[in-house]
Structure 1
Amino acid sequence: MIEVLVVVGPGVVADAGLLEEIAAREFAAAGVSGALVHARDASHVLSLLSSPSSPEGAGGVVVLPGSSAEVRSLIGRDLGAVVWVDVERADGVTAGEGATHLHGRGVGGLAWGIRHAVHRVRHPSRRIAYGPLPEQRGELYLPDADEPPVVMLIHGGYWRSIWAADIMGPLCADLVGRGFAVWNLEYRRPDLHGWDATTADVAAGLAILATAHAAPPYGSGTLPPYGSDTLPPDALQPDADRTVALDLTRVTVVGHSAGAQLALRAVADAATGGAQAAADEAHADGGAGGAHAAGARAVGGVRVVMAVSLAGVLDLVEGDRRWVGTGAVGAALGGRAPEGQVAAPPYADASPLLRLPLGVRQLVVQGAADDLDLVDFSRRYARAAEEAGDEVTYLEMPGDHFDVINPATPIWQATARALAGDPAPRG
């Protein structure tokens, strides 16, 4: 059985009983055993992290570091696949090799941390950098299949840095079980890096699939040199007996919430050639090596055959005017939507509703119990896309904003069945 250790560092401002309750609830829900330990100091934390895993099963470790400078100095060290959880917002923190840092989700962040730790033990992936900065990376999950089609996942969170790719973990596991390779993308969010950086990262994340060279699994080595031209023969090797090549002629781009906006915008940019320019910008931000990845993408190694919106923010003009996400749209794009000038950038470039036709098949999924503005956006977008000549399937079923990314719900099951149908003939 998987064992999970939760370490609470000194100075964590949270009720100890509540932390115990959250941990116990998550252990039971995940079907794992676990323990929560309150550490006295940094030496105690380090000794707990250095303890060998139980011989009876793999282990995951979650640490709430608190405010101690000595404990926080451990976050950047290479201590393995630790999930560091700050209940407060803590921008600019870089975790060590193979580790993850989650922050700003309140005491409930502990639940997310435990889920992520269990997911990483149960579903190993390969971390791949598409740029030199910490957030310019993704996790590649491989099925037990030869030349699988690829699903690229783009998480939401209203473009705010407290939400990250870990929230898409359950979908990664579900899709791999259905025979897909899954590329779960992380990217720089505009609240810290600006809108152009976000757009460029999503384009670069799509482009890197054409020349992706996989890193070793968590904690087993360093990333390959960024900008390398070489794809080792065993780069996508899940075991010692066979290699796996991705079928890049069947790539589906899936986004949730704000991630749906990014997904549809990236597909629209690719159709107009804007993807290469955006990818060039992402790599230029970090130094040499980017031109190769963007050029490989331009050669035509990636063929997007379907774009999927899961509870997407698809009308940014109305999204800003209606103050969805408490002003999330204007905050992300750097200003309010101009009255009477809906064709002006950045809204004209960013809003999926203004980028039609997209030119690829689309699946628009919407929970009926979601924010009514998002229901409105999805319905109007699907209708407008169809009127523009795109092939669109609109799927609205009972469910809320997160049911669309919960593998146990009927709305996701219906979505997955739609994805599992061959989206386009091979070749």
Structure 2
Amino acid sequence: MIEVLVVVGPGVVADAGLLEEIAAREFAAAGVSGTLVHARDASHVLSLLSAPEGAGCVVVLPGPSGEVRSLIGRDLGAVVWVDVERADGMTAGEGATHLHGRGVGGLAWGIRHAVHRVRHPSRRIAYGPLPEQRGELYLPDADEPPVVMLIHGGYWRSIWAADIMGPLCADLAGRGLAVWNLEYRRPDLHGWDATTADVAAGLAALATAHAPDAHAPDAHASDGLPPDVLPSSTIPPGTDGAVALDLTRVAVVGHSAGAQLALRAVADAAGEAAGDAHAVAGGPRVVLAVSLAGVLDLVEGDRRWVGTGAVGAALGGRAPGRGEGQAATPYADASPLLRLPLGVRQLIVQGAADDLDLVDFSRRYARAAAEAGDEVTYLEMPGDHFDVINPATPIWQATAEAIAQALEAPPKGIKRTTTNITE
């Protein structure tokens, strides 16, 4: 059984009993054995992390102590650091993860992520030199699998990260699909252009991630977990550590704000591609774009103050007034509704119990896409905003089956191309 150690650093402002309740609930839900320890000081924290017979995974709430916080950037293994307060600009050590700004509930997310990483090892691959320019690649037991690129949401705010898509990674990999779970710079800290550029680069990286000299030295050889933890079934025999991905069958899937980024990236790729209207030139061919409870009408999203003003905050300004036009604004490029037709098959998924504005956006977008000539499937089922990314729910099961079916065979008339991802 997996052993989980939760370390609460000195000075953490939270009720001790509540932290124990959260931890116990998550241990039971995950089917793991866990222990929660209140550390006295930085030396105590370090001794717990350095124990030779330590836990299978470790979650630490560092608290305000400068000495404890200095440990976050050290290479101490696959530690999940959880700041209950917002703590921008922290870079965790090699193989570690830093989650922040989710309140006391962040402990639950931290435990889930720590357990997930042990149960479902992935390869951490950089597509740029900055800490957030990376993705986690999950490989199925299959030769030349198609690829699903996942883009997380969180209303474009840095407190939410790729860890929330972890359960979908495991589910899709279990269906024989390779999964590229993308992290990217969010606009609240880096600006809208950085976010857009990162998602485009992340998509293109599917074709170039194996290049040893791209970006930072050895960046693409860095794994989220040590290579010996990776299951041998992820490396087909005779490939000398290389794994071939079928780039003629790629789906781009986004949740919430990530759906906006997904559809926008597909639209950009279609407009920039040379000779193939559905792919980045020389790169992956997107055959399916999927919105999971997406923010698909940014103009109305801003006017309706969706996400307490999240749209305008992300794009750097309010939507133009009615009758002013959109051509000269970021909204014209960013809003999926204004980029139709996409020219790529689409699956629009929406939980009926979600925010009613998001239900409205999904329904109107699907109708507009069909009227523009796109091939669109609209799937609305019982469920809320997070049921669409919960593998246990009927709405996700239906979504996953649709994705797998769409990627089942190479598109007619398209020659299969592959890329090799190496250690």
The TM-score, its normalising length taken from structure 1, stands at: 0.89
Asked whether the equivalents of residues 344 and 374 of structure 2 are also in contact (C-alpha less than 8 Å), the reply is yes
Aligned to 2:31: 31
List per-residue Cα deviations over 1:52-81 (Å, max 9, x = no partner).
246xxx701000000000000000000000
The equivalences for 1:212-291 within 5 A come to 212-213=209-210, 215-220=221-226, 238-239=234-235, 241=237, 243=239, 244-273=243-272
**TM superposition shift of 1:398:** 0.3
Structure 2: distance between partners of 1:346 and 1:274: 21
Cross-structure match for 1:425:
410
Q: 1:239, 1:77 → 2: CA distance? A: 30
**Aligned residue in 1 for 2:16:** 16
Does the CA contact (< 8 Å) of 1:314 and 1:351 recur in 2? yes
Aligned pairs (5 A) from 1:181-192? 181-192=178-189
Cα distance in structure 1, aligned partners of 2:224 and 2:196: 27
Q: Please give the secondary structure, in 2, of the residue aligned with 1:133.
A: coil
Structure 1: gaps of 5 or more residues = 222-233, 276-296
Residue 321 of structure 1 aligns to which amino acid in structure 2? R
* CA deviation map 1:220-259 (0-9, x unaligned): 38xxxxxxxxxxxx9x983484543100100000000000
Amino acid at match of 1:384: A
The question of whether the paired residues in 2 share the 8 Å contact of 1:140 and 1:182 is answered with yes
Alignment pair present for 1:177 and 2:174: yes
Measured in 2, the distance between the counterparts of 1:200 and 1:60 equals 34
* 1:421 partner SS: helix
CA, structure 1 residues 422+376, in 2 after alignment: closer, same or farther (shift >3 Å)?
closer
Residue correspondence of structure 1 range 117-128 to structure 2 within 5 A: 117-128=114-125
Aligned pairs, how many?
Answer: 390
Aligned match for 2:308, one of 326, 337, 344: 326
Residue in 2 that maps onto 1:282: none
Contact map agreement 1:116 1:169 (CA 8 A) in 2: yes
CA contact (8 A) 2:123 2:225 kept: no
Check conservation: 1:194, 1:332, Cα contact below 8 A: yes
What displacement does 1:22 show?
0.3
Contact 1:84 1:101 in 2 (8 A): yes
Residue 211 of structure 1, CA deviation: 1.4
Q: Against the structure 1 CA distance between its residues 274 and 16, is the aligned structure 2 distance closer, same or farther, given a 3 Å change threshold?
A: farther
Residue among 53, 63, 67 paired with 2:64: 67
**Residue 57 of structure 2 aligns to which amino acid in structure 1?**
G
Q: Distance in 1 between matches of 2:133 and 2:224?
A: 16
1:375 aligns with 2:359: yes
Counterpart CA distance in 1 for 2:24 and 2:349 is 34
1:68-105 CA distance string (max 9 Å, x none):
00000000000000000000000000000000000000
- The runs of 5 or more residues in structure 2 that have no matched partner are 211-219, 416-423
1:128/1:203 CA distance change after superposition, 3 Å: same
The runs of 4+ residues in structure 1 deviating greater than 6 Å are none
TM-score normalised by structure 2 residue count: 0.89
**Structure 2 residue 332 is the aligned partner of structure 1 residue 354:** no
Cα distance in 1 for partners of 2:100, 2:294 equals 24
1:406–1:69 CA distance, 2 compared to 1 (3 A): same
Instruction: Give how far 1:200 is off.
Output: 0.2
Secondary structure, in 3 states, of the residue corresponding to 1:413?
helix
Q: State the superposition RMSD in angstroms.
A: 1.8
Q: Tell me how far 1:345 sits from its aligned partner.
A: 1.9
For residue 76 of structure 2, what is the aligned residue in structure 1? Answer: 79
Partner of 2:214: none
1:245 aligns to what SS in structure 2? strand
Query: Could you tell me how far apart the structure 2 residues matched to 1:188 and 1:196 are?
Result: 10
CA distance in structure 1 between the aligned counterparts of 2:178 and 2:236, rounded to whole angstroms: 18
**What is the alpha-carbon distance in structure 2 between the residues aligned to residue 263 and residue 298 of structure 1?**
14
Question: 2: CA distance between counterparts of 1:120 and 1:305?
Answer: 29
Distance (Å, rounded) in 1 between the aligned partners of 2:236 and 2:295: 43
TM-aligned CA distance change 1:240 to 1:264, over 3 Å? closer
CA contact (8 A) 1:308 1:365 kept: yes
Q: Is the 8 A contact 2:143 2:236 kept in 1?
A: no
CA contact (8 A) 1:398 1:411 kept: yes
